[in-house]
Amino acid sequence: MKLWEFTGHELLEKLAHQEITQEEILCALDKRREEVEPKVKAFVRIEKAPAPLDSPGPGAGFPGLPIAIKDNICIKNRPATCASRILEGFKPPYDATVIQKLKNAGFSIYGQTNMDEFAFGSSCENSCYFPTRNPWNLECVPGGSSGGSAAAVACGEAIWALGSDTGGSIRQPASFCGVVGLKPTYGRVSRYGLIAFASSLDQIGPFTRDIEDCSVLLKVIAGHDPKDSTSANLPVPDFLLSLGKDIKGIKIAVPKEYFSLSENMALEGITQEVNQAIGEAIEQLKKLGAKVQEVSLPHTEYAVSVYYILATAEASSNLARFDGVQYGLRAGAGSAEGADNLIQMYKRTRQAGFGSEAKRRIMLGTYVLSHGYYEAYYLRALKVRALIANDFANVFKDFDCIITPTSPTPAFKLGEKIQNPLAMYLSDIYTISINLAGLPALSIPCGFSSGGLPIGLQIIARSFDEEMLFRVAHCYEAHTSWHKMRPKI
């Protein structure tokens, strides 16, 4: 086994026993990257020689272990572009809280990964740089928006990575690339320094190759932060204690609507292969002692509509700050100042700086917030959001977790949905309700399609009960070997 094939916790153990050195790990990753990066294109930027460490504190538990970061998380004095031209030249003058925490724990920040512009997309094709490709099949997308982070971890260019999830942007690419991806409970991880897409939905979370790494990484990045007023002032449990437990008597709900959406949603629907893989996973969990029962989440069919109203409304407001004044691109012709007047400068800067999907979402968000439409769309969507959150609350009165597919299909082909925004939006159908309800959820590999593409199982728990996610997922992982499969690339 080569060094890049090991998980983070395995490498830590080897470091602790002095079987390997930090330099050997970096060297192995560099070599692996040279082999596969030209094909996969997961990174938008690589730190040439990741500084071994500024000064690891005495308690630094992760001496120099490299980690890849999605390009919408601020790292002091390094570019952060959100894969958008409008942030050209921007270098954040501060570290995001998660970056500060990683540095304090001894991690070295390795490189920044590709994404859909401002996290707008489900395929990593809406990047101003280039599309990233799926390591399992280079004709297919890695998912999105955190496609670069997912692909890098899947093919061994990174041991682990951070992404962000607003409507599935960690879980869907994790599912497409056959790795573990976690969206923590809203408020579990500070959003300070995450360039905002939709502030009431965004969360930062880890990509890893197994559940132990996922729990280790969440422990590092989680916790209350006075700089993010929505971060929860709750203790962070020792998630490792949730591992290795059995799941006898754990009550698991399976929402029937998730398997019959096609009639209502003008959607191709769930593929037979995904259906079968999820069915087998459910059987496995039953064998391990879980009690599985079908339930109803009656407002499921409204989730995509609610999401695309609220997320675009928030985005149109958050992205108003990109106007050519404080940072990034300024475009325009005419006078030495770039444009004849301020409004013209704004408009030209935003025309030149934003890609097509960003413009479309800003337009939709502006429309639903505009005079005469606010009540019909935005306010109504907030109310249906309450109904959706309530559906989950009802199920969690009687159940410990909910199980669904992460995505209705395995990875689709590059170009397949890029011309049809609505079809792209519908591919997030199983993940967006969870953000609307603020719940924690993870995706774990649970099988493969006949074409050799990974399939992901989504596990959802009560707010701030990531321990339940880890307990169930670790038990499943211990009795299956999907997470050990690696793409041949």
Structure tokens at 105: 């724990």
**Single-letter amino acid code for the residue at 447:** G
Among 35, 421, 486, 489, binds another protein (CB under 8 A): 421
Among 305, 416, 486, 489, binds another protein (CB under 8 A): 305
What are the percentages of helix, strand and coil residues in the chain, rounded to 5? Answer: 40, 15, 45
Residues 7-66 that bind another protein (CB under 8 A): none
Catalytic (active site) residue 41? no
Residues 214-233 that bind another protein (CB under 8 A): 226, 229-230, 232
Segment near another protein (CB under 8 A); pick from 106-114, 151-159, 240-248, 384-392: 384-392
CB neighbour list of residue 367: distance below 8 Å, 6 or more residues apart: 373, 377
Residues 263-302 that bind another protein (CB under 8 A): 299, 301-302
Residues 166-205 that bind another protein (CB under 8 A): 186-187, 200
Q: How far apart are CA 371 and CA 376, in angstroms?
A: 10
The catalytic residue among 122, 169, 175, 231 is 169
Q: How far apart are CA 111 and CA 149, in angstroms?
A: 10
Decide if residue 309 touches another protein (CB under 8 A): yes
Among 4, 6, 43, 90, binds another protein (CB under 8 A): 90
Q: How far apart are CA 224 and CA 221, in angstroms?
A: 10
Structure tokens at 75: 């790292």
Q: How far apart are CA 305 and CA 258, in angstroms?
A: 16
Among 166, 316, 318, 409, binds another protein (CB under 8 A): 316
Catalytic (active site) residue 287? no
Which one, of 102, 232, 114, lies nearest residue 163 by Cα? 114
Which one, of 182, 185, 186, 181, lies nearest residue 200 by Cα? 186
Residues 445-484 that bind another protein (CB under 8 A): 463
The catalytic residue among 41, 70, 103, 219 is 70
Query: Which CB, 291 or 380, lies closer to another protein?
Result: 380
Query: Which CB, 51 or 422, lies closer to another protein?
Result: 422
What DSSP designation does 232 have? -
- In DSSP terms, which residues pair with 442 in a beta bridge? 182, 459
Task: Cite the DSSP H helix spans in 260-411.
Answer: 262-265, 272-287, 303-318, 342-353, 356-369, 380-395
Query: Which CB, 293 or 351, lies closer to another protein?
Result: 351
Query: Which CB, 98 or 304, lies closer to another protein?
Result: 304
Question: From the CB of 329, what's the least distance to another protein, in Å?
Answer: 7
Residue the block writes with tokens 């942007």: 169
CB neighbour list of residue 315: distance below 8 Å, 6 or more residues apart: 118, 120, 197, 198, 361, 362, 365
CB neighbour list of residue 308: distance below 8 Å, 6 or more residues apart: 364, 425
Among 58, 59, 93, 249, binds another protein (CB under 8 A): 93
Query: Which CB, 21 or 335, lies closer to another protein?
Result: 335
Among 41, 133, 385, 462, binds another protein (CB under 8 A): 385
Question: From the CB of 384, what's the least distance to another protein, in Å?
Answer: 6
- 260-265: long-range contacts at Cβ-Cβ below 8 A with a sequence spacing of 24 or more? 261/300, 261/301, 261/408, 261/429, 264/301, 265/301, 265/304, 265/426, 265/429
Question: From the CB of 190, what's the least distance to another protein, in Å?
Answer: 13
With H, G, I as helix, E, B as strand and everything else as coil, classify residue 89: coil
Decide if residue 257 touches another protein (CB under 8 A): no
Contact between 51 and 40 (Cβ < 8 Å): no
Residues 325-364 that bind another protein (CB under 8 A): 325-330, 332, 335, 337-348, 350-351, 354, 356, 359-360, 362-364
Q: Give the Cα-Cα-Cα angle 287, 292, 295 (nearest 5 degrees).
A: 165
Question: From the CB of 258, what's the least distance to another protein, in Å?
Answer: 17
Decide if residue 408 touches another protein (CB under 8 A): no
Segment near another protein (CB under 8 A); pick from 98-106, 109-117, 303-311, 442-450: 303-311
Question: From the CB of 37, what's the least distance to another protein, in Å?
Answer: 29
Question: From the CB of 433, what's the least distance to another protein, in Å?
Answer: 11
Query: Which CB, 16 or 320, lies closer to another protein?
Result: 320
Q: How far apart are CA 327 and CA 124, in angstroms?
A: 24
How many residues line the site for another protein (CB under 8 A)? 76
Decide if residue 85 touches another protein (CB under 8 A): no
Catalytic (active site) residue 450? no
Structure tokens at 89: 């030249």
Query: Which CB, 169 or 433, lies closer to another protein?
Result: 433
Query: Which CB, 247 or 401, lies closer to another protein?
Result: 401
- In DSSP terms, which residues pair with 443 in a beta bridge? 181, 458
Query: Which CB, 12 or 311, lies closer to another protein?
Result: 311
The catalytic residue among 84, 108, 123, 145 is 145
Find the helix or strand (DSSP H, E) in which 182 lies. strand 180-183
* Measured torsion, CA atoms of residues 480, 427, 276, 175, in degrees rounded to the nearest 10: -10
Find the helix or strand (DSSP H, E) in which 458 lies. strand 454-461
Among 389, 418, 478, 489, binds another protein (CB under 8 A): 389
Q: What is the Cβ-side half-sphere exposure of residue 7, based on CA atoms within 13 angstroms?
A: 18
The residues assigned a catalytic role are 70, 145, 169
